[in-house]
Amino acid sequence: MRAKQWIGPSAVGLVAIAIVFGLAVLMVLKRYDPAVITAVVTGTSLAAAELVRRLRESTSAPTESHHKREVGS
């Protein structure tokens, strides 16, 4: 058994999706301007996608191209 367990990237992705849609619903219920809702949801979803991409990249097995990036060659 591992001493330290953490949430996997798939779970983080699902949580990120829930946060983005929850934020959109909350803004609709608060009667924000649709342009503002669109801008906020777009920015939030792009940030969440980048977070999930980095998490998946950090948990995947290192490839040769990944190693070259780390070494800088």
Question: Looking at 8-12, 16-20, 45-49, which range is the least confident one?
Answer: 8-12
Residue of higher predicted confidence among 9 and 58: 58
Q: Which helix (H) or strand (E) holds 72?
A: none
Q: What pLDDT score does 28 carry?
A: 95
pLDDT tens-place string over residues 27-66: 999 999 999 999 999 999 899 889 888 888 887 766 565 5
**What's the pTM?**
0.62
**What's residue 68's pLDDT?**
60
Q: Where are the alpha helices (DSSP H) in 1-73?
A: 9-29, 34-59, 64-71
Tell me if 37 sits within 8 A of 24, measured CB to CB.
Answer: yes
Q: How far apart are CA 56 and CA 31, in angstroms?
A: 36
